[in-house]
Structure 1
Amino acid sequence: MSSPAERAAQGKRARKYAPRSSHAPWIPAADRPDPVVVLERQGADRLPDLLPVRYGRMAAGPFAFLRGAAAVMAGDLAAIPHTGLTVQLCGDAHLSNFGLFASPERSLLFDLDDFDETYPGPFEWDVKRLAASVAVAARDNGHPDKQAHLAALACVGAYRANMRRLARLGELAAWYERVDAHELLPLIRSARHRRRAEQTLAQATRRTSLHALAKLTETTPDGRRRIIHDPPLLEPAGISDAAALRKMFGDYRSTLAEERRRLLDRYRFVDAARKVVGVGSVGTRCFVLLLTGRDADDPLFLQIKEAGRSVLEEHIPYHGTHLHPGHRVVSGQRLLQAAGDIFLGWMTGPQGRAFYWRQLRDMKGSADIAAMPPDELLTYVRLCGTTLARAHARSGDRIAIAAYLGGADTFDRATAAFALRYADQTARDHATLRRALSAGVLTAAPQA
């Protein structure tokens, strides 16, 4: 292992081939692919009856489009010179992919919460996607560009400040860092913001499997529990799907630690359903399993989600060991999150498709970004920037990255400038999608 001085020198050397100020420009390449073509290519292996749901959700506005267009932005980032300072990327680090969840010790934590696209790559790709999402969200909320720029600047500044703080810590101290949600409340100065945060924490605490039992299931006339029918978003699995899920369950179980396998063995299978989730994931194969433990009032909901290739894979040679896409997602989540889901696992399903498993609800919650005024958004994006730095510090060389970023705000200002320029690009891409829908090239399902 290199000394701290050598690691810092490596980070400073990266400035020679990717100066901090070089992150500001965004000029689309002349041969930049049509974003609709990129989305159609992604949809080729997805469930065709769900693609209109995806396009309908993405058409709602530029921020919704950005959420679903990780593949589009991955290609754009790959066309820009990068630092070469590698971390385990989230791969889709936009504002809506941060949230609350329970640790195994039942503390409520704030962290990244989506890892479908996780992959090793240059740290700044996550930072740029996050900053761009800040600018797009601010504009969607009606904030002027001055406020959008200020928010993006605050987000990146928080990332840099926390990475520099983490660089001064020992290895274990940096690894054990976490953001306890309840510890955030005293830091919120506005009484209005604090009340909103308290409501979000309270809602997350109630979002358990028992809460899902009341919301997602019904009792049949013969007294059995069944997942409700709410097409196309939630549909009971057919006989063949249910049989396949039972078989997959055993393979998934083998990827858990021994003590967790024993815990899982105390539950029995009750029902399964196909479920539509997210924006970018719509059309991938996703199921929900209802299990019961001690009795019918002791439920466990597991989500089984298809794992494909990361959108980053075609742009970065893979040097990792997890060739199985489900294993890639699980490994990335365990590395990036401060505390992991005890039922996180993976397996291969029918037709060789890869899947990963996790709890559907375990005190999970998220902020209502669309309702945030400028000052509240500023507080939230700082938290997200701080959290992303903590995640990157677990897998990358935090000392080298901190040295690259430096004490001045050069990187912050450059990335904030990029964020606004990319927000312009996102608005153009969203308009392209809307035109494709109007022309009948794509079909969008009406949104509730």
Structure 2
Amino acid sequence: MKFLYTISLFVILSSCGTQQKTNVASQKKLTDDQLLTLVQKQTYKYFYEGAEPISGLSRERYHSDNIYPSNDKDIIATGASGFGIMGTIVAIERKFITKKQGYDHLKKGLDFLAKADRFHGVWAHWMHPSGKAKAFGKNDDAGDLVETSFLAQALVCVRQYYANGNAEEKELARKADELWKGIEWNFFRQNNQNVLYWHWSPNTGWKMNFAITGYNECLITYVMAACSPTHGVPAAVYHQGWAKSGAINTSFSMYGHPVKLKHNVVGQNVGPLFWAHYSYLGLNPKGLKDKYADYWEENKSHTLINYDYAIANPKGFKGYGANSWGLTASYSVKGYAAHMPSEGEDKGVISPTAALSSYPYAPKESMQMIRHLYENMGDKVWGEFGFYDAYSETANWYPKRYIGIDQGPIVVMIENGRTGLLWNLFMSAPEIKTGLKKLGFESPKI
């Protein structure tokens, strides 16, 4: 890929140190492309400079303010690591790091994953730097199929990226292939039911008993399970389990935007905006359709509902509007919350990842948000790893904290909106084409 950089952009990007101060005069000279590149580069630092040092993978979170000392700096997050792996491919192509640095970083991560605890091929939600699983909850101490699926899509992208490389790169592609093909998706049907289950533990078995049904962030879990050539599941698992034999469908509109998929939330509403991101980092929603939905239109509606909701601002929160929008799961003024556009789940907190990771669906609206955050809010929301996780103007709350699973989609989805890089890699895999066809999908990419 060829990217054009001006001398002025080089100067801007080179100056992005960890203590960067904003300068409104210089910011306003940035073109959209320059600002997007800057945001991607600064955000990617979370997964490179800020990576967990032993594994080279993503930390669960990082607190620049050090207010909450036990901030899981040493805990590796499986899903966020998948997002960071995809971000490394972006970083190589954008020349944020060298080709050799990117290869070494990816190899370190994949070598760690190959030795880490796995449960029927499935990684835990969290891992210690030793590779041992760390419990996420009382009975959630081992295999996490959904987090593993976020990682699996990244492994497919790595394989495709290095498939025609030199001998070392081909070996890395082979390792990525071996890791994703070792995931026993069919085991997670819990005794051959036509539905997938989120968790399994050698200590508590199926005690979590959490069946994965749509619609939420887990479409990619079913896609990866159907596409596996080694431990795949039949199409009936998707149609009866995920789509609930058609009960996944609904029909209503919010702010004039139609919604055809019934989100797993109370009432006629849409869920947190990350539901339009996590499954689509590799899976290209453009032209992607099955008998349940047109996924591009669904994700556009989900995004624009958030945008219009912020403008309507029914709860009267300070700062909401066309330049400050997007509700998703993130830090909240009190703890952590799955923010969404409804009376009970809107807590006056804006999460930058929501609008920024929606760049492919609403580039103009997303760009407005990026400019406002960077040019007007500055150091209140911008730090060493890009924009902080969340803020509330109503509460005058601007925590200097990051969460890996929120930072990752920013780098990847902005790139997909600009060049389609990860979409093209993922959709080029023959197993993905075959699996999507098996499930009844149509797409110009298959």
Q: TM-score range by the shorter chain?
A: under 0.3
User: Normalised by the size of structure 1, how large is the TM-score?
Assistant: 0.26
* More strand, by proportion: 1
User: Normalised by the size of structure 2, how large is the TM-score?
Assistant: 0.26
Q: Which has the higher contact order (CA 8 A, sep 6+)?
A: 1
